[in-house]
Structure 1
Amino acid sequence: MSKVLLFNKPFNVLCQFTDEAQFKNERETLADYIDQPGFYAAGRLDRDSEGLLLLTDDGKLQQQIANPNNKQAKTYLVQVEGAIDKKAIQQLSKGVELKDGLTRPAKARIVNEPRWLWERNPPIRQRKNIPTSWIELTISEGKNRQVRRMTAAVGFPTLRLIRTQIGPWKLADLGLGESLLLDNLTL
């Protein structure tokens, strides 16, 4: 019986249980939030990103979730610098040329800032003369820092990145730093 743990990862938390770097004991890790032995992250979420992270106690399921060949769609809320336009949304939807190749087509749309969103600590940098806007972006691959590189490539750098869904699993009403254990799952 496989178990999956949904975790709402805060900003600046490493997606591992120990910090082997020079900052040992100075940076938060999953161990600061999760007390479930035998669970391991299924995929990554960068330290400067927030939102849904999946953990499981089943190695095969972990590989299925994390393996890019399984094309688990991942949805993100992205706050970008500037007033994003339809041209940029069309570019994101068609695929964006990055240094490591063309991204697969994505689902992209402009959205309002979510009312349910928690405050980020520390807050994003804001420039008084430059507006920000929000998009929802769904990708089906996982190139390194892909969403950030895609928005920058179309002229709208990412300021804040929150993953809200991986395949069938959703962040839903999970509070910041909270987790939810789901039993008896298969992919």
Structure 2
Amino acid sequence: MVNKLANVSGGEIFAIPLFLSDRSDLERFKKSDFSGENKKFAYCRIIKDLGGGGILIEVFTLINGLSPEIEDIIQSGRLFPPITINGLGIYKKRWPKVGQEEKYDCEIDSHFSQIQLLLPALPHEKPRLWQNGQEKFISFEESKDYEEWTVWLSSHLEKRFIESLKARVINI
């Protein structure tokens, strides 16, 4: 039996600190580390735990303190297409849980069957596109249009969030 790093459920909402990207992924955090008026967070919702493929999440555009309304997070829209994380940020309490969407359904609420991730090409093969648990070969040219399936570490993803927000001229 394999022990999971983080036990998560679809619909859980986590705060992603925008002030810890230079700290070790292995460091543990406590609630007091996140208090303060100047502490800003992005937010993600768990879509589905894909086992060895990581935890599929969607990241929203809202930037706020630690206690926003769940509806405000969801209504803000996605910052970029869904991605996978390894769960260490959740396990180490780097990403605190801020809520749970009741009656969450990954298909209705996150359009799970429409999520597409690029699997890199194996030697002598074309890249593959993953969608709804199925894979199909696509051309190298087509592969440029899709998010590559990367299982992100929390600090690397936090840096990506900050860069994406700055590119959209969203003040953090």
Report the TM-score, using the length of structure 2 for normalisation. 0.30
Indicate the structure with greater helix content. 2
Higher RCO (CA 8 Å, separation ≥ 6 residues): 1
